Amino acid sequence: MASSALRHALLLPLVACFIAVAAGQEAPRAHPLSNLPPSGEISTGFFFPDFPTRQFIAGQAVKTVLGIRNDASEPYNISAIMGSLNNAADFRAYYWNFTQQVYFQVVAPGKELSVEYTFLPPKDLPPNDYQVALTVFYEAAEGFKSTTFFNQTVTVLEKGQLIDWKLIFLYVIFIALVAAGAFYVWNIVKESQLYKNLVGKKQRKVEVSRADNDDEWVKGTPYDSFRRQKAKAAGKGSKKAQ
Residue (88 or 208) nearer to ligand NAG, CB:
88
Residue (69 or 230) nearer to ligand NAG, CB:
69
- The span from the CA of 50 to the CA of 61, in Å, is 9
- The span from the CA of 53 to the CA of 212, in Å, is 73
Which of the ranges 64-72, 90-98, 191-199, 202-210 carries the binding residues for ligand NAG, by CB under 6 A?
90-98
Q: Which long-range contacts (CB under 8 A, 24 or more apart) does 126-130 make?
A: 127/58, 127/155, 127/156, 127/157, 127/158, 127/161, 128/88, 128/155, 128/156, 129/88, 129/153, 129/154, 129/155, 129/156, 130/85, 130/86, 130/87, 130/88, 130/95, 130/154, 130/155, 130/156
User: Which residue from 38, 50, 91, 232 is in contact with ligand NAG, where contact means CB under 6 A?
Assistant: 91
User: Which residue from 44, 55, 77, 87 is in contact with ligand NAG, where contact means CB under 6 A?
Assistant: 77
User: Which residue from 46, 48, 51, 94 is in contact with ligand NAG, where contact means CB under 6 A?
Assistant: 94
Residue (58 or 80) nearer to ligand NAG, CB:
80
Count how many Cα atoms sit within 13 Å of the Cα of residue 216 in the half-sphere of its side chain.
Answer: 0
Is position 33 an interface residue for ligand NAG (rule: CB under 6 A)?
yes
Q: How far is the CB of 100 from ligand NAG (least distance, A)?
A: 10
Is position 8 an interface residue for ligand NAG (rule: CB under 6 A)?
no
Is position 104 an interface residue for ligand NAG (rule: CB under 6 A)?
yes
Residue (7 or 228) nearer to ligand NAG, CB:
7
Binding-residue pattern over the window 122 to 161 for ligand NAG, x denoting contact by CB under 6 A: -----------x-x---x--------x--x----------
Which of the ranges 21-29, 31-39, 184-192, 216-224 carries the binding residues for ligand NAG, by CB under 6 A?
31-39
Q: What is the dihedral of CA 156, 61, 134, 107, to 10 degrees?
A: -150
Write the CB contacts of 73 (distance below 8 Å, at least 6 apart in sequence): 109
Burial environment of residue 8 by CB neighbours within 10 A (0 to 12, 13 to 18, 19 or more): middle
Number of residues that bind ligand NAG (CB under 6 A): 16
- The span from the CA of 143 to the CA of 198, in Å, is 93
Amino acid at the residue 82: M
Is position 55 an interface residue for ligand NAG (rule: CB under 6 A)?
no
Query: What residues make contact with ligand NAG under the rule CB under 6 A?
Result: 31, 33-34, 77, 79, 84, 91, 94, 97, 104, 106, 133, 135, 139, 148, 151
